[in-house]
Structure 1
Amino acid sequence: MFHSSSHGERRGRSARSSSEPTRAPLIVDDKLPVRVLLLDPGDELAAAEHPDTDVDPEFLRHFVPMRAYQRLLAADLGTLSATIIRNPEAVDGKVLVRPLADGDERFVVIDGHWQVAALRKLADEVPEMGVELPDDVAALLHACPVRIVRDDADPAFVLSLLAPQPGDDPWLSGQRDRLIARLSEGLGHRSTYEVAIATGGSRAAMRRYHAYRALEQFLQAHPLPATQAATMLPIFHVALARTLVRNWLDWDDHLCAFLDEDALEHFHRMLLPGVDVDGSPTCPCIRTVDDIASLCDVLESPSAKKALLEHHVTLADAVQVIEDDAMQHWMASLGEAIDAIRWDQRRFKARH
């Protein structure tokens, strides 16, 4: 997948004019003072960007990070703080940020809130205890390793970099939801090759990127609240891992999209609630990753696939077709076995 993209990129670069500006990298590694890293897990600073806000934006930029820090501090940061003291490298690669605004030295933390909060806790509390931090830990307070992405970066790419968020507190998912809300805009896409380079060739990151691009394609046709859309990501992630589904929907690795529009429309319908013949609402046919396994079983069965795609039965009914076929096959085999036994019995009696 990456080799063909790499070849295309080299050809493209050789054909570009020398006067054409170089595209900014997708992600930049840097070191920044902890004091310029603004904590905002709930994306509450978005209010400062709204032109109709009745609160001083600069006040929000000071108040929101302070309150976020206090809320994170109320959790148990002791274990993480102790880990950082023992191993300062535990922070490496954990903190992802974006610029607050052009020309501003501050950055909003997208991922790594706990690490930044733990560093602030060490900076605030250790001196009060009358002890000094180890030199390498103290150095982190002035030069914390971060990864910087542009605010207008491809949201699917940024989402692919996020670490899994433990717990079910929606406040901690605000930055993720902000990015998911931007997916339907369909802006900022870069080549598969560039994304692969930026993620260090990580296959796991590329699989997450493809899943978010597939989710993006869905959201452009069927907008949903970010929190609801996030619950659908595992379905797309598993769907793209199954060759049967990829082939059915004609997934293209370079365009990062499904190309068979008719099949895709059918697939999307299975992800949405429907209405039965009586007008009563029905649940989506596909609600869990296990349903993707059932879909693959249906796609492998000609009769079940025909029932699903041509007769528009539900996925559950299509699975029933498979079971009915299996039962008919078993009954036919049983009938053949009984006939064979009877034939043998008649032959045995004829001899005696």
Structure 2
Amino acid sequence: MQNGVERIVKLDQLLLDPNNYRFQDDPTFQFAQALRFHETMVQRKTFERIRGEGINDLKASIRHNGFLTFERIIVRPYERGDLFVVIEGNRRVAALRSLKEDYEAGIDVPPEVVSVFQELPVSCVESDDSALHLSLMGIRHVSGVRQWGSYQSSKLVSELHDEHDLEFSEIGSRLGMSTREVTRRYRAFKALRQMEEDEEFSEYCERRMYPMFHEAVSQPMIRQWLQWDESSSEFKDETNLRHFYELIASIQNDEGLETKAKITTANEVRELKTIIGSPEARMVLSDPNRSFAEALAVAKTEELQHAWTTQVAEANKALAGIPALELRRLEPEHLAVLETLSQTLQDVLDTYRRLARS
């Protein structure tokens, strides 16, 4: 990946990125036009948004320790003048701006920090390759120390694949993720986007639902139930998909009454695979008067009822595998175990025959 050119710039030359991925899970987020990043209101709103997420700890660290330059702020040239857009380091730039405001308001700021306002070391990526810019952001925030939320990272994966034609393996190499996890995040983002674009359910779709879609595309049985299509990156079973949406969304009917979502966490989506394998449990889940927990209890009861067949098969395999030499040297207590097993088997068969005759 291309290295940046070391530069010394003034703090006022840096533009916060109003389209920062960290903002994009907010339902009120709207993209700013690229040629308007420099406008005062655009920068003010971006600064206030970052400050609202919390930079006091970062300010305190810079005030106490000075501005540490070993981890460079990464920027790219802006289209106008001698300005630069911050690719990586928006929180640090916002913290420096806040300290500069404090200083200009007469608040004491250490001289070594004040000097940074005029001479700030940055790494400038001269390339206009937007895929490179996205990758540089992702290195720190997808698998790095200050990670974005899952929605933002999956959106980045989707953009790198769809808009920049990068293969999943290449995206994984750039972001420090496995190809398998890149694939899951891409599928989950597309599945969530499918609900966002659904004519009937779009109003109920929320980006906080992303973890549930990530779990849904990660479970082979659920992917099969919803008929995930790899070529179009969407679910194809409209009936089951509608049912899934109804399970994860709180929906108002025509009378204004709200039906609460039965599934609200990724863990419950994981458990859904147990329910869809049981016709009786599926009926319970479809009943508006019964809960997800009740449906899961029915499914797990069925699992326990059928577990004995597997256990008997394993016991039979173990018995068949006892070597002849071992049989000749059986201890009395071992023989007693086998005789008890034989008697238990005879009792089960006798009970079956009596029930069959009645």
Q: TM-score range by the shorter chain?
A: 0.5 to 0.7
1:141 aligns with one of 101, 120, 133 = 120
Structure 2 equivalent of residue 237 of structure 1: 214
Is 1:288 the equivalent of 2:269?
no
Is contact 2:15–2:85 with CA below 8 Å preserved after alignment? yes
For residues 51 and 286 of structure 2, the distance between their equivalents in structure 1, rounded to whole angstroms, comes to 57
- Of structures 1 and 2, the larger Rg is shown by 2
Sort the Cα spacing of 1:197 and 1:285 in 2 relative to 1 into closer, same or farther, 3 A. Answer: same
Partners of 1:45 and 1:260 in 2: how far apart? 30
Secondary structure of 2:57's counterpart equals coil
- Does the alignment pair 1:37 with 2:15? yes
C-alpha deviation, 1:288, in angstroms: 0.8
* Pairing partner for 2:283 from 301, 304, 307: 307
Counterpart position of 1:81: 62
Q: Compared with structure 1, are the counterparts of its residues 191 and 71 closer, same or farther at alpha carbon in structure 2 (3 Å cutoff)?
A: closer
Work out whether 1:265 is the aligned partner of 2:242: yes
CA drift at 1:88: 3.5
User: Does 1 or 2 have the higher relative contact order (CA < 8 Å, sep 6+)?
Assistant: 1
> What is the distance in 2 between the residues matched to 1:84 and 1:113?
19
Gaps of 5+ in 2: 308-343, 352-358
User: Which secondary structure state, in structure 2, belongs to the residue aligned with residue 293 of structure 1?
Assistant: helix
Q: Deviations over 1:22-60 (max 9, x none)?
A: xxx9x99676755323264769996975xxxxxxx9342
Contact 2:281 2:298 survives alignment (8 Å): no
Shift of 1:209: 3.6
Deviation of 1:295 (Å): 0.1
Against the structure 1 CA distance between its residues 327 and 58, is the aligned structure 2 distance closer, same or farther, given a 3 Å change threshold?
closer
Partner of 2:326: none
In 1, Cα distance between the equivalents of 2:209 and 2:29?
26
Does residue 175 of structure 2 align to residue 199 of structure 1?
Answer: yes
- Kept in 1, the 8 Å contact 2:188–2:214? The answer is yes
Distance 1:202 1:76 in 2: 32
Shift of 1:75: 1.8
Q: Give, in angstroms, the shift of residue 114 of structure 1.
A: 1.9
Distance (Å, rounded) in 1 between the aligned partners of 2:50 and 2:90: 9
- Give, in whole Å, the separation in 2 of the partners of 1:73 and 1:274: 34
Mark the CA change 1:291 to 1:325 in structure 2 (over 3 Å): closer, same or farther.
same
SS across alignment from 2:264? coil
**C-alpha distance 328-229 of structure 1, shift in aligned 2 (>3 A):** same
Secondary structure of residue in 2 paired with 1:143: strand
For residues 73 and 306 of structure 1, the distance between their equivalents in structure 2, rounded to whole angstroms, comes to: 45
TM-score by length of 1: 0.53
Taking the aligned partners of 1:233 and 1:30, their CA distance within structure 2 comes to 37
CA distance in 2, matches of 1:28, 1:46: 31
Give the Å deviation of 1:236: 1.6
Aligned-pair CA distance for 1:138? 9.5
Work out whether 1:58 is the aligned partner of 2:35.
no
The gaps in structure 1 that reach 5 residues or longer are 1-24, 50-56, 167-171, 331-336, 345-352
Instruction: Name the aligned partner's letter for residue 143 of structure 1.
Output: V
Contact 1:45-1:60 at 8 Å conserved across structures: no
Q: Is the 8 A contact 1:245 1:296 kept in 2?
A: yes
CA distance in 2, matches of 1:305, 1:65: 49
- Per-residue CA deviation, residues 48-88 of structure 1 (Å, 9 max, x unaligned), is 75xxxxxxx93424544565677688723245437985863
Whole-angstrom distance in 1 between the partners of 2:138 and 2:291: 32
Q: Is the 8 A contact 2:139 2:174 kept in 1?
A: no
Kindly state the Cα deviation for residue 212 of structure 1 after the two structures are TM-superposed: 2.0
Task: Report the Cα offset of residue 287 of structure 1.
Answer: 1.0
Change in Cα spacing, 1:69 to 1:250, as seen in structure 2 (3 Å) is closer
Q: Residue 19 of structure 1 aligns with which residue?
A: none
Partner of 2:197: 220
Shift of 1:316: 4.4
1:286: how far off?
1.7
Name which of structure 1's ranges 229-238 and 317-326 shifts more when overlaid on structure 2. 317-326
Report the secondary structure of 2:188's partner residue: helix
- For residues 68 and 214 of structure 2, what CA distance do their matches in structure 1 show? 33
The separation in 2 between residues aligned to 1:208 and 1:144, in whole angstroms, is 30
Q: Distance in 2 between matches of 1:82 and 1:240?
A: 46
State the 1:162 CA deviation.
4.5
